[in-house]
Amino acid sequence: MDDVRFAVLGTGGIGRRTLEVSQHKDGLTAVAACDRNGVAVDHGGLDVEELLEATEGNIASGPQDDMATDGGAAAATEGVKQHGDQAGVVASEQGRPTETPIDDVIAESDAIDAVLIALPNLEHDFIPRVAERFAEADYEGVLVDVLKRSRVIGMLDDREEQLTESGITFVCGAGATPGFLTGAAALAAQSFVEVEEVEIWWGVGLKSGYEDNRGTVREDIAHLDGYDIETAREMSEAEIEELIDEHDGVLEFHDMEHADDVLLERAGICDAEDVHVGGVLDVRSDEKPTTTTVSVTGTTFDGETGTNTFQLDDVTSMEANVNGPALGYLKAGVRNNRAGHYGVFGPADLMPRF
């Protein structure tokens, strides 16, 4: 497969790590990146090291509402530090200020094979609306996201005809969970003729990357008992800090509305109601508070009941387990797009490319 030219929307935690990890993957060239204040484009390939150094600790951020329906407002990034209009990408020698970052990337999309949407999904239809804008511009290529919410998959499915007509291959939920672990569950299910239950239990330590991942933490808070996407979006940074202090830095989640359930149902593995996702997030330690596992329980053709378990090594970081698969699914998306396979795909539908 020829070299893949890709763009990143959002240079907070996920976006920055995507650019970093891409340097260690063959066949990938970052040609565009943007945040709410600026955009950097180089069809020959961005100087990723310079961009990361220029934006480190200097993240441009903004509320999700900055994404206007007319396409004139800027995209939100995962970061939450606020340093004015000269923060983020515009601090790089390669960056330039703009009030229309996503539109600026779309304007260059003829030279872009794939776009990774690294924006927090703090409005349910936010990422689907971004996809619509690419389709309305007749973009022909790949869109990849690492979204976490089950109901968003249906919003993407509702737009599948529009995406297909444009020539877009959309790979949704392509991070760790949903993503890597969803795919692992689909593989583990192959021993059975009927799957009774899928349990995904994850552990993440964030101390070293907490500043760059506040948007992700905010989105996770929406899964806690007593919280939802709206209340999490409206929380101030002080309120989030207070919540974290109340839990001594460790947040535990059960029965999360993670898209793994819908994605596994779409792939014919099991009913969505039989998928259970939970985990533990420690924002004060780099070490995982618990081992990440996927357990698939089912019945074999000869009537035996068993459980297949897939486990991630505790030394593998969140960066490795989110961004590595995201780029692997991005490559798989490009392969399928070039073969004329358009529409909406989940991580249980494709095998990521190394």
Residue 205, classed as helix, strand or coil, is strand
Label the pairing between strands 343-345 and 194-205: unpaired
d(CA 79, CA 123): 16
Is residue 223 part of the annotated active site? The answer reads yes
The residue from 223, 258, 288, 331 that is catalytic is: 223
CA dihedral 171, 173, 179, 185 (to 10 degrees): -100
Residue 68, classed as helix, strand or coil, is coil
Neighbouring-strand partners of residue 29:
5
Is residue 24 part of the annotated active site? The answer reads no
d(CA 186, CA 229): 28
Residue 107 carries which DSSP code? H
The residue from 78, 123, 148, 331 that is catalytic is: 148
d(CA 281, CA 249): 8
Question: What's the distance, CA 73 to chain centroid?
Answer: 22
d(CA 259, CA 119): 16
Output the CA–CA distances (angstroms, integers) from residue 52 to 28, 89, 172, 309, in the order listed: 17, 9, 26, 37
CB 309 within 8 A of CB 302: no
Q: Which stretches within 272-348 are classed as H helix?
A: 318-338
Output the CA–CA distances (angstroms, integers) from residue 135 to 3, 31, 297, in the order listed: 23, 20, 40
Label the pairing between strands 4-9 and 114-117: parallel
The residue from 78, 219, 265, 288 that is catalytic is: 219
Is residue 234 part of the annotated active site? The answer reads no
Kindly list the catalytic residues: 148, 219, 223
